[in-house]
Amino acid sequence: MSSLLEAKGLYGGYGGADILQGTNLRVEADEIVVIVGPNGAGKSTAMKAVFGLLRIREGEVRYRNETITNAKPEQMVRRGIAYVPQEKNVFPSLTVRENLEMGAYLMKGDLSQRLDKVYTLFPKLAERRRQQAGLMSGGERQMVAMGRALMIDPQLLMLDEPTAGLSPLLIDETFERIQEINAQGIGVLMVEQNAKQALAIANRGYVLATGSNRHEDTGPNLLANPEVAEMFLGG
Amino acid sequence: MTDILQLLIYGLVLGSVLTMGAIGVSMIFGILRFAHFAHGDFMTLGAYLGLSFISAFGLSSWWALPAAMVGMAVIAVFIDQVLYRRIRRTQPVILLIASFGMALILRSLVQLIWGSDNQTYTSGIQFPWQLDWLGGMRLKPDHLWIMLISLGLVAGVHLFLTRTRLGKAMRAMSDNMDLALISGIPAERVIMVTWVIGGALAGAAGVFLGIDTRLHPVMGWTTLLPVFAAAILGGIGRPYGAIAGGMIIGVSMEMSTLLIPAAYKPAVAFAIMVGMLILRPQGIFKGTV
Amino acid sequence: MELSGIASYLISFLTFAGVYAVLALGLNMQWGFTGQFNIGIAGFFAVGAYTSAILTTPSSPAYLGGFGMPFLVGLAGAVIASTLLGLVVGLITARLRTDYLAIASIGIAEMVRLFVKNEDWLTNGVRGIAGIERPFADTVLDSPFVYLVIVALFVAGVYFLVERAYASPWGRVLRAIRENEPATAAAGKSIAGFRLQAFVLGSAIMGLGGGLYAHFFGFLSPEAFMPLYGTFLVWVMLIAGGSGNNRGAILGAVLVWGVWSGTELLTGLLPTEHATQGAALRVLLIGVLLQVILVTRPEGVFPEKPPKLITRKR
């Protein structure tokens, strides 16, 4: 049985010097995998590279044993990989419902089942379906963003700092939702600043520094690792 | 009082023309992030295509409208594919220069093919209806049609943008290009549809202008400034704002003739635009600055 | 006879190219150095030309002045008038995206043209201003060749000025703004201020070009300031020559003016009843030339070679 996602020895960046220096990542189906690390470690860059948003100069990305290195975002979506960027992750002038519809742009047929599924997970979005996404609070927008990504019924959900800028209460709620999504059999790969909480719900975690893997272990083991704790988790 | 009402009608007719142009300019700006300077000359070319169509088949003047709209939709996509698409990856300002060059190319083509003299769709004079219940105000049937058809086209654009998948995708791309790509929205197809609509509406604007006045190779270029003024007033990148902007500019331009020489009509559009740029550059409806 | 005909054609050709070179250098200041998109060059050009004409022509009942002032006073007036216009336009648009400047600038050009056309008391309207003399009128130095030398001196002077500006710390900031606006703002530079300065300086240079044109051509009318001649050709010149490169701007002016004049010779072969078509064909050719350059060689014949910035990106 092959991994859901496997990235090996990635090198690449935004045209200039490589930011990724041989990054490795692996996500098994139904796992939650968290990438943590200091600022500028290349965490978001690694996510973007995997999703084909920036050019991988060297290395390989495989999804269900199929090479998808540098494939276009459209092809990622068609294969069942959804990505939620950290910022600007909604269409502000579109309504909530329209935002969700855009997530399923490539899906054929009736959307109502997909919509219902998202509304069940985020009941608030059902209430607010006619509201413009740009007028919503940060937490609500994050729900719209995740909901949009879930509209394709992904096998792999990639989240870039899903709790950035949220209040502690909302952070807890977001992590709960992520666990619920995972419980439906969706693999989750996320970058997180709230490393402790994220590693606590994670099956495995990666610690990235200067674009390469520093540590890789199960969530609890990383939390227990004194070096990791000292370096990145602030004791 | 009748004078003012009469000017209001002229203003709404002009406003309809400007709206047709401004919606296209606004949409193109929203999706491709550049001010399309050939849009006025799209209008001109559309008007002349309509002229050739009706004279070739001996049809009445309103048949120019569908011919111009279809013709300009095709030509707009063609120009995009041949020219703009090749330079899209560089900075948007390069597109600005290219569109400015395209404006001159189209105008000289019109001069080459149709000559520089004034032309009209029909040779006769149309007798206006005298509306006694409105103080003897006059209304030409053509003017009424221009306003009604514009209304219909605006409604059509509205339905397209709010009810169809592609229309929503267009708004989504205009909102957030990166997220649209991440969602798998096919950018090239949306861009193509943007040109189809922008081109068709420019063709309609050209025919309206030709029916209202006459055809001339610089008819579109001289209308470009008020069209941009309308788009900026409505908030550039916001097609709905373009409607309000078009009407305000059109009515102001006609009303101004009560106070200043008619030659300065474009100056009124310009003054409103400059005032807007100083006070509220994002437009009435908060476009993309 | 033949030979002197060719010589006078050459002198006239080079003088025109020189005037356009001044305009292209002015545009380079705005577009090449700071990425400000001015397509109202014709407006600044016209203001400069008319100011100089009104200041230097003998008194006339038909329009304001003329004041019979010397050539250099006329040019100074041209520079001052276009500087003021540039200041007004710049103040409105310096904070905005360059698309707005582009739109506002065609507006300015149209307004100037409308004004020149309709305000007879000031400019004699469509009848235009005639009898604008070259410097050293009625002396042995009053010849097209001497005027060519004068224009060449001005081109050299402007070139020297903008080269110095480009290499100066001030010019470095301008380029830094063009390359990376947020970073430059973060470094504490007033973006709008620097932009405005560059815009106004460019406008002043365009005004000077207008003044030089007026004294060369001797007659001004609103038709000379249509966007085609005033604006479009200058843009093609700068793009072809290489925006950001001052030598490119001058060479672009000569080259494109050569192409433009060459197409005139070609269309001159057409029968006279097709004269208007001939003019349209020339514009078409130049327009296509621009597009070909943009698609195949957007950096121009002489690409910009900036002196090394002190703070390079890593």
C10-27: average pLDDT: 94
Is the pLDDT reported for residue C152 higher than 80?
Answer: yes
**Arithmetic mean of pLDDT over chain C:** 87
Q: What is the largest CA-CA distance in chain A?
A: 52
B35-51 pLDDT, tens digit each: 999 999 999 999 999 99
Determine the distance in angstroms separating the CA of C37 from the nearest CA of chain B, rounded to an integer: 8
The structural domain count of chain C equals 1
What would the DSSP string read from start to end of C89-157? Answer: HHHHHTTS-HHHHHHHHHHHHHHHHHHHHH-HHHH-GGG-B--PPPTTTTSTT-SHHHHHHHHHHHHHH
A56-79: average pLDDT: 93
C280 inside domain: no
**Band of pLDDT at residue C307, cut at 50, 70 and 90:** low
C248 inside domain: no
pLDDT for C310: 44
C112-142 pLDDT, tens digit each: 989 999 988 888 888 889 888 888 877 878 8
A159-192 pLDDT, tens digit each: 999 999 899 999 999 999 999 999 999 999 999 9
A61-77: average pLDDT: 92
Instruction: Kindly identify which residue of chain C lies nearest to residue A17, measuring between CA atoms.
Output: C314
B126-151: average pLDDT: 85
Give yes or no for B31 touching A (CB within 8 A). no
Is the pLDDT reported for residue A233 higher than 70?
Answer: no
Query: Which residue did the predictor score with more confidence, B89 or A78?
Result: A78
> End-to-end CA distance of chain C, in Å?
63
- Chains meeting A at 3+ CB pairs closer than 8 A? B, C
**Band of pLDDT at residue B216, cut at 50, 70 and 90:** very high
C298 inside domain: no
Q: Which chain C residues are closer than 8 Å to B278 by Cβ?
A: 92
Spatial distance between the Cα atoms of C31 and C29, rounded to a whole number of angstroms: 6
Q: Is residue C129 within 8 Å of C53, Cβ to Cβ? A: yes
A113-141 pLDDT, tens digit each: 999 999 999 999 999 999 999 999 999 99
- Token pair, residue A185, equals 């059999």
Percentage of chain A exceeding pLDDT 70: 97
What would the DSSP string read from start to end of B75-87? Answer: HHHHHIIIIIHHH
The parent domain of residue C97 ranges over 2-226
pLDDT for B48: 98
Is the pLDDT reported for residue C231 higher than 70?
Answer: yes
Q: Is residue B240 within 8 Å of B234, Cβ to Cβ? A: yes
pLDDT for C314: 35
pLDDT for B231: 93
Is the pLDDT reported for residue C313 higher than 70?
Answer: no
pLDDT for A67: 93
The structural domain count of chain B equals 1
Considering CB atoms only, which of C104, C114, C232 is closest to B274?
A: C104
CATH architecture of A5-80+154-232: 3-Layer(aba) Sandwich (3.40)
Listed in sequence order, the residues at least 6 apart from C88 whose beta carbon sits closer than 8 Å to its beta carbon are none
Spatial distance between the Cα atoms of B217 and B22, rounded to a whole number of angstroms: 20
Spatial distance between the Cα atoms of C18 and C254, rounded to a whole number of angstroms: 8
Q: Which chain A residues are closer than 8 Å to B183 by Cβ?
A: 77, 102-103, 105, 148
Q: Is residue C232 within 8 Å of B100, Cβ to Cβ? A: yes
pLDDT for A211: 83
Give yes or no for B175 touching A (CB within 8 A). yes
The answer to whether the Cβ–Cβ distance between C295 and B83 falls below 8 Å is yes
B102 inside domain: yes
Determine the distance in angstroms separating the CA of C297 from the nearest CA of chain A, rounded to an integer: 21
C258-289 pLDDT, tens digit each: 998 888 888 877 777 777 788 888 889 989 99
B217-270 pLDDT, tens digit each: 999 999 999 999 999 998 877 778 899 999 999 999 999 999 999 989 999 999
Between A174-188, B126-140, C13-27, the lowest mean confidence (pLDDT) is in: B126-140
C303 inside domain: no
Give yes or no for B168 touching A (CB within 8 A). yes
The parent domain of residue B223 ranges over 2-114+133-279
- Chains meeting B at 3+ CB pairs closer than 8 A? A, C
CATH code assigned at B72: 1.10.3470
pLDDT for B39: 97
Give yes or no for B166 touching A (CB within 8 A). no
C231-256: average pLDDT: 91
C69-96 pLDDT, tens digit each: 899 999 999 999 999 999 999 988 877 7
Spatial distance between the Cα atoms of C246 and C300, rounded to a whole number of angstroms: 12
